[in-house]
Structure 1
């Protein structure tokens, strides 16, 4: 793929479990240097969408490409260019922070692992807990370490599932700063969130409701389409209409 091609260009993605549609007809484009938000209530299909893009789930329907390859056909080399961070903390509790980073450096076959790890300890402010076992970290520190591990190999596409949920203000601010730095460096970032104040910071979003997603647009455009003064007001309007 060329530098001008979208990192993600998918159409009509759908996934069902036991005959129940979880995601239906999701269409999305992510270009280099963009942050795209998947916005909606928990259980609305955001995580399933992220996992299909990451290659962790196979879509039942839909087509398109992720990093230039047909969705669902990623090889090992392509997967190394995708950083996926799930909502749940996924760190080995008996490993120290620095051991965790060494493990991820080895998995990605980094040419200069020591340099990458030293850079991550500094960039993500986790040097002070480098020798601490991950199982003893607080939620905020664990999330910082998980972000550092996910981003260690500088993936071209960063997929983050509710990365700031339940975190303190300082850690939330830092995670957003790191995402924006990734975008400015030409990487693509997709973040799922149910926090509408966060969604307002995304240049474009997909608004999920009941497993379907509205066409990708700016938060302002979605609000204006609903005749609402804000994204929050638009979401409430949509929810009220669906419940009527």
Structure 2
């Protein structure tokens, strides 16, 4: 890694951490979108694993009733982690251009969901038994193919009508499971080398610094305004990645 890429990685994770600090999400999405334009998506996903897992464990542990949340979501979590591991070959051994285009499509879908003017329809509790595992399996396939875990995980959790603190905790818990599955698969495939593991660990420093800046800025910036412009930026970035993938 030359000095130019080190500077790019530091700026990327500072920005990604800042976004997460202001609106509570977006670190892996921003990091994958920006790094995916500079290095192969599989390497970009490997680089963001450590900062993503650590920050999401923090987010998961800070919420109330973690045990009850695990008991409610475990079928979804099990399928999400397993299918991420099984589908990771799409990212590590597949066509890099298709992976880039898939990442762009995931970013656009994420932005479209974030810009949705109305809340998600409520899912009746009696349907969680089949909808949770289905959402988990689909999320695992998308994560294994693109390194981004938002689709369709976020819409499913949004449909449960969870209070804000529980929603944030559920997202942190779910993202932790998918990223651990991806890390396991990358280690087995030889993608997660010692050098890349150390680089990923070092990326936690700018990510945490960015989160601290974002937490401070939250008091001065309207989170809703920032969220809106963030998703508009994702739309543009996703379109650029799709163009590069098929160009």
Structure with greater proportional helix content: 2
Q: Normalization by structure 2: what TM-score?
A: 0.28
Q: Which has the larger radius of gyration?
A: 1
- Answer 1 or 2: which has greater strand percent: 1
Larger relative contact order (C-alpha < 8 A, sep ≥ 6)?
2
